């Protein structure tokens, strides 16, 4: 499935680094999402964008900063992360809210 792509697939970063995760959807969808999935834990919705406008922010620490320059691209900027932020970060998109969401392959993030 190449409808939603994410880069990089794996990332190791120190707590003082700044890095960005990128997501691109080729499905013509209007809504995009960032999720966090820690080991053996359920999906945690982080941010929701609809037509480049952030519509939901689920009490995510400010060290995570999303950016949606257009309806096809979504970024997650990371800075001064903590080891507990190590997780699988998933991007998803959907035609509209309430419709099927399609996930990218995820970025496996390790904070050392």
Residue 86 has a CB neighbour count (10 Å cut-off) of 17
Choose between 14 and 56: whose C-beta lies nearer to another protein.
56
Tell me the C-alpha distance between 89 and 51, whole Å.
21
Q: Which is nearer to another protein, 78 or 94 (CB)?
A: 94
CB of 49 to another protein, least distance (A): 10
Instruction: Please report, as ranges, the residues that interact with another protein according to CB under 8 A.
Output: 1, 31, 33, 41-43, 45, 48, 56, 88, 90, 94, 96-106, 108
CB of 74 to another protein, least distance (A): 14
Cα(109)–Cα(34) distance, integer angstroms = 14
CB atoms within 10 A of CB 96: 10
Contact 63, 73 (CB under 8 A): no
Nearest distance in Å: CB 104, another protein: 6
Is the link from the previous residue into 8 a cis peptide, with omega within 30 of 0? yes
CB nearer to another protein: give 81 or 94: 94
| Beta carbon of residue 96, minimum distance to another protein (angstroms, whole number) | 7
Distance between CA atoms of residues 110 and 87, nearest Å = 7
Between 90 and 111, name the residue whose CB sits nearer to another protein: 90
């Amino acid at each position: 499935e190449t409808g939603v792509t994410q880069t990089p697939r794996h990332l190791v970063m120190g707590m003082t680094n700044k890095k960005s995760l990128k997501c691109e959807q080729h499905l013509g969808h209007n809504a995009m999402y960032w999720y966090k999935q820690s080991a053996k834990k359920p999906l945690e919705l982080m941010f929701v964008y609809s037509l480049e406008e952030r519509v939901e922010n689920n009490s995510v620490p400010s060290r995570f900063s999303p950016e949606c320059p257009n309806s096809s691209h979504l970024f997650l900027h990371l800075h001064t992360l903590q080891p507990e932020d190590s997780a699988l970060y998933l991007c998803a998109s959907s035609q509209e809210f309430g419709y099927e969401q399609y996930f990218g392959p995820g970025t496996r993030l390790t904070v050392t």
